[in-house]
């Protein structure tokens, strides 16, 4: 456990001067001056994970923020009754562990590398010092927090008020919006994970996709590739 503390098995082969590229990749910091960057660079550690390795797990003592540099991380939770829910998938530039920094003393979710992944790790105290020293970073982080909060509340409301079919349609519509060059979207996760993310089962996902296809709203090119034929039709449901 907590392999990242020792670095064992993760090839933490970065040397401190090679952190720079990591820091500059992070949206939270990318408005800063060279000199400030260098200071920050001193406080972070770069860690690599192989596919399906654990970044952290619920219950573990938490004292760090993780920022994805390269790769993908799957963040999920276990509910009171033991069922798993996919919370989000982190792409480069995204961060996790933020609750750890301010409220909780242990992680409440699980994070696992989906592919070969490299992250920057910043300790709680170092990060808090950065915030006090560079107030503009706080604004960036606050902005990021508020985005995430908005996202979470939206998701929450959909669970509370929309049926599965609508949640799926809304999800597809959002994927469509972010892939603004083409009408074919690539699902960012397996249908199993999608089911977990949308609070349903793989069976239901499968059936609803077939229904949407029968209605002429989408076309399933492959398991991962979906062509959207009628966006409005999806939404006015």
Partner DNA sequence: CGGGGAGTTGATGTCACTCAATTGGGGTGG
Partner DNA sequence: CCACCCCAATTGAGTGACATCAACTCCCCG
For binding to DNA (CB under 7 A), which residues are involved? 163-165, 190-193, 199-207, 209-210, 220, 222-223
Q: Taking the complex as a whole, how short is the minimal distance between the CB of residue 55 and a second copy, in angstroms?
A: 17
Are 62 and 97 in contact by the 8 Å Cβ rule? The answer is yes
Are 202 and 192 in contact by the 8 Å Cβ rule? The answer is yes
Sites for a second copy among residues 57-96 (CB under 8 A): 77, 79-81, 83-85, 87
235: enclosing H helix or E strand: helix 231-236
Q: Which does 20 bind (CB under 5 to 8 A by kind): DNA, a second copy, none?
A: none
Q: Taking the complex as a whole, how short is the minimal distance between the CB of residue 77 and a second copy, in angstroms?
A: 5
DSSP conformation class of 230: -
Nearer to a second copy, 61 or 128 (CB): 128
Tell me how far apart the alpha carbons of residues 171 and 152 are, in angstroms, rounded to a whole number: 13
Question: What is the distance in angstroms between the CA of the first residue and the CA of the last residue of the chain?
Answer: 47
Write the DSSP assignment of 128-165 as a string of letters. HHHHHH-HHHHHHHHHHHHHHHHHHHHHHHHHHH--HH
Q: Which does 37 bind (CB under 5 to 8 A by kind): a second copy, DNA, none?
A: none
Sites for a second copy among residues 165-224 (CB under 8 A): 166, 170, 196, 198-199
Nearer to a second copy, 115 or 132 (CB): 132
**Alpha-carbon distance values, 83 to 14, 49, 104, 178 (Å):** 37, 26, 21, 30
108 binds a second copy (CB under 8 A): yes
Binding residues (CB under 8 A) for a second copy: these are 77, 79-81, 83-85, 87, 98-99, 101-104, 108, 128, 131-133, 135-136, 138-139, 141-143, 145-150, 152-162, 166, 170, 196, 198-199, 235
């Amino acid at each position: 456990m907590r392999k990242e503390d020792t670095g064992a098995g993760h090839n933490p082969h970065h040397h401190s001067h090679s952190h720079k590229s990591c820091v500059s990749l992070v949206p939270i910091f990318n408005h800063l001056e060279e000199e400030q960057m260098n200071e920050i660079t001193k406080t972070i550690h770069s860690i690599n994970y192989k596919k399906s390795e654990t970044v952290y797990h619920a219950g573990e003592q938490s004292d760090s923020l993780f920022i994805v540099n390269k790769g993908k991380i799957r963040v999920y939770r276990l509910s009171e009754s033991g069922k798993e829910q996919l919370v989000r998938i982190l792409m480069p530039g995204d961060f996790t562990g933020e609750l750890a920094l301010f409220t909780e003393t242990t992680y409440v979710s699980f994070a696992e590398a989906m592919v070969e992944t490299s992250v920057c790790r910043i300790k709680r105290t170092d990060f808090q010092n950065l915030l006090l020293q560079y107030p503009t970073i706080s604004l960036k982080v606050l902005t990021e927090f508020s985005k995430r909060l908005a996202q979470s509340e939206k998701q929450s409301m959909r669970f509370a008020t929309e049926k599965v079919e609508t949640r799926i349609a809304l999800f597809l519509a959002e994927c469509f919006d972010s892939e603004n060059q083409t009408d074919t979207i690539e699902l960012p996760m397996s249908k199993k994970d999608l089911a977990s993310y949308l609070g349903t089962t793989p069976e239901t996902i499968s059936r609803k996709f077939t229904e949407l296809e029968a209605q002429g709203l989408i076309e399933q090119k492959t398991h991962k590739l979906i062509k959207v034929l009628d966006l409005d039709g999806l939404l006015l449901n």
